[in-house]
Chain A
């Protein structure tokens, strides 16, 4: 079955550590996205990538980094510079359709907790 996988489902980090969240898709989508979700704030865009080897900052990129070496993969690193990293992280992908619309498909998410 085609879809998006995120791992791990739960992740615990000590303060000062970098951690990497995995996102893989087998939908053959060109674009991929990372969102952060906090209670009462909806989804906020961290980074996005429209093609391999290219990515752009979203609204809250500070303290995060990404890479896009393969079409299928878009890992997110939460660095020690992110002051409040505890949140639910969602990865999504899309393939622009007719007229340029952007239907995004989401993975199941990773819950990151800083201890």
Chain B
């Protein structure tokens, strides 16, 4: 069965610093990959997605992610973090069967001023 690992439970960065959140997946073929963001007490908002083609995908709010098949990774990046980016971030994988997503356990981002 597919699985998603987000090794960092909590990350703290300074405003203006760069950010990279890690995501590793386990699946034999090329999966469909997603990053979602969740503010406290709210639902999830899609940041970006990868299905095929260019391995560097651009999303909303200045985020990007790179799919690396050799490393089974789909890390999320942002060049300069804003205080409003403080939230919890979830990586998810869809193997294309049964219309289900498998989520990682999330990374909570704290931004210091």
Contact = CB atoms under 8 A, between A and B. Distances in A.
- Asked if A and B are interacting partners, one says yes
Interface of A: 4, 31, 33, 40-45, 48, 50, 56, 58, 88, 90, 92, 94, 96, 99-109, 111
B53 to A, nearest CB: 11
Interface string B79-97: 0000000000010001010
Interface of B, secondary structure class, is loop
Interface of B: 9, 32, 34, 36, 41-46, 49, 51-52, 90, 94, 96, 98-101, 103-106
Nearest to B31: A101
Contact of A102 (B44, B90, B99): B99
Nearest to B6: A42
Given A42-B105, A102-B99, A103-B34, A111 B41 contact: yes
Nearest to A91: B43
B67 to A, nearest CB: 14
Nearest to B50: A101
A40 B34 CA distance: 19
Contacts of A43: 44, 90, 103
Given A42-B106, A101-B94, A106 B101 contact: no
A48 B46 contact: no
B92 to A, nearest CB: 8
A48 B32 CA distance: 19
A31 B99 contact: yes
